[in-house]
Every structure is written in C-alpha cells, then in structure tokens.
C-alpha cells in the first residue's frame, strides 16, 4: 500500500513539473507566437487593431489558465470567503512587508542611479499612455490571475520545502519582471524590489493555502499603481 501511495505521489509530482514547464513556456512565448502567425496582418494594422489583437491573445491565455486550474480556482474561491477576514488579514500583512521593502529598495536605487527607473517600469508606463484601458485589464486582471496561478500554485505543487518554495517562487517571479529589460549591470538592482514582492506573495500563499489571497493582493497592488500613475500624469 505504501509503495502504491509513494508511486502515486511521485507521478503527481512529475505531472506537476511537466505542467509547470509547459505553462511557463506558453506564458513567455504565447504573445510572440501569435504575433508571428498574424504578422502579415499586423504590419499595416492600426494601433486600435493591434490593441484589440493583444487583448484577444491575452484573454485566450487567461481562459486557458483558468481551465487548467479550474478545480483549484473553484475550491479556493469557496474557502476564501469562508475564512475571508483571516485570509485578507494575512494577505495585507505580508503585502505591506513586501511593499515596504520594495519602496525602500526603489528609493535607494533611485539615489544610486540618479533618478532612473526600471526599464520594465518605463515600458509599462509607455503602454499605459498609449492604451490605458487595455493596460488596466492587463495589470489588474490578466497579470494577477496568470502570474499567481503559474508562480504561486504551479511551484507549490512540487516544492514541499517552505523556504525553498518561497524563495524560488519569489525570485523567478521577480527575475522575469527584470531580465527581459536588462540594459546593463545596474538593472540587476531592480531584482530586489520585484523579488521582495514576489516573496511576499509566495509567503502569503504558503500561509493561507488559497490562491485568491495572492490574486486579490496582486490585483489591488497593480491597480493602485496604475491609478496613481494615471492621476499623476493627468490622464
């Protein structure tokens, strides 16, 4: 009996790893693949058409992730509200810790770089200026759902060790927000603020064992950031 149980556990872990690898690959290359396929049509398309295309592509991947993790989402949605106040309290507590580290590290980096901001942040702001409604969907709905399911749930399914899971989940999350826009060694400093938030979300998920705890805080964090930027820019 023990051998059967151990075999099933090993099979589940292998399945979880393979699923994460596939989803990780799709997460990175999904947009590029569709852009390549429809490149002849997009080359002369208007900006509005390109934004609509990006929205549809994102929506398709979001629906795909929801289908893959449908059981988890249904189960956690019910349990989240059964212990709502405790889940929210834990979520806010660790988000505040991660956010505080993020703010302090960003202020230090600004001093070191003479006011420069992360390349990723510059890209996000430029996209907000171009299409604020699309970016509101992207940062407030698409990113929290897909990223939390991938980086928090996906990694948790096969990493049992508490701190190993928290560090790997948080650092991979932070690294992907930085690595694509690195222009020099100084950009590596931005791993600190991004990873601090990722680690906070990972710790929250470990404590609550409910994916909606991190989805909600991730969404609130991103929504506040985009609203503050829109207010500050006068849009």
pLDDT score recorded for residue 177: 87
- Please write the tens of the pLDDT for every residue from 121-180: 777 888 888 899 999 999 999 999 999 999 999 999 989 999 999 999 999 999 998 887
How many residues belong to the chain?
Answer: 235
- Please write the tens of the pLDDT for every residue from 56-85: 999 999 999 999 999 999 999 999 999 999
The angle at the Cα of 178, spanning 50 to 135, to the nearest 5 degrees, equals 30
- Please check the confidence at residue 3 and state whether its pLDDT lies above 80: no
pLDDT score recorded for residue 175: 92
Phi and psi dihedrals of 157, rounded to 5? -65, -20
> What does the radius of gyration of the chain's CA atoms come to, in whole angstroms?
19
- Please write the tens of the pLDDT for every residue from 25-44: 999 999 999 999 998 888 88
Model-wide pTM > 0.85: yes
Q: Which two tokens stand for residue 152?
A: 């928090």
pLDDT score recorded for residue 78: 94
Pick from 178, 170, 172, 175: which is nearest to 122 by CA?
178
Which residue's structure tokens are 């996906």?
154
Q: Which two tokens stand for residue 157?
A: 């399914």
Phi and psi dihedrals of 210, rounded to 5? -140, 120
From CA 131, how far away is CA 105, in angstroms rounded? 29
pLDDT score recorded for residue 1: 53
DSSP the chain: -HHHHHHHHHHHHHHHHHHHHHHHHHHHHHHHHHHHHTHHHHTT--HHHHHHHHHHHHHHHHHHHHHHTHHHHHHHHHHHHHTHHHHHHHHHHHHHHHHHHHHHHHHHHHHHTTS---HHHHHHHHHHHH-HHHHHHIIIIIHHHHHIIIIIIIHHTT--SHHHHHHHHHHHHHHHHHGGG--SGGGGGGHHHHHHHHHHHHHHHHHH--HHHHHHHHHHHHHHHHHHHHHHHT-
Q: Which residue has the higher pLDDT, 115 or 192?
A: 192
- Please write the tens of the pLDDT for every residue from 215-231: 999 999 999 999 988 88
């Amino acid at each position: 009996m023990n051998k059967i149980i151990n075999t099933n556990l090993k099979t589940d872990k292998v399945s979880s790893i393979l699923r994460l690898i596939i989803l990780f690959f799709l997460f990175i290359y999904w947009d590029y693949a569709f852009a390549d396929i429809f490149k002849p049509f997009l080359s002369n398309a208007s900006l509005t058409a390109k934004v609509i295309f990006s929205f549809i592509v994102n929506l398709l991947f979001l629906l795909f992730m929801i289908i893959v993790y449908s059981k988890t989402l249904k189960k956690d949605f019910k349990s989240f509200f059964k212990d709502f106040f405790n889940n929210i309290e834990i979520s806010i507590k660790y988000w505040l810790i991660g956010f505080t580290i993020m703010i302090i590290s960003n202020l230090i980096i600004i001093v070191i770089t003479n006011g420069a901001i992360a390349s990723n942040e510059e890209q996000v702001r430029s996209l907000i200026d171009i299409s604020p409604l699309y970016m509101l969907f992207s940062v407030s709905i698409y990113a929290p759902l897909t990223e939390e399911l991938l980086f928090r749930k996906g990694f948790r399914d096969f990493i049992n060790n508490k701190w190993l899971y928290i560090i790997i989940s948080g650092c991979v999350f932070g690294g992907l927000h930085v690595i694509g826009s690195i222009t020099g060694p100084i950009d590596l400093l931005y791993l600190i603020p991004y990873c601090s938030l990722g680690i906070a979300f990972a710790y929250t998920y470990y404590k609550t064992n409910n994916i909606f705890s991190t989805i909600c805080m991730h969404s609130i964090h991103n929504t506040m950031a985009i609203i503050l930027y829109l207010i500050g820019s006068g849009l």
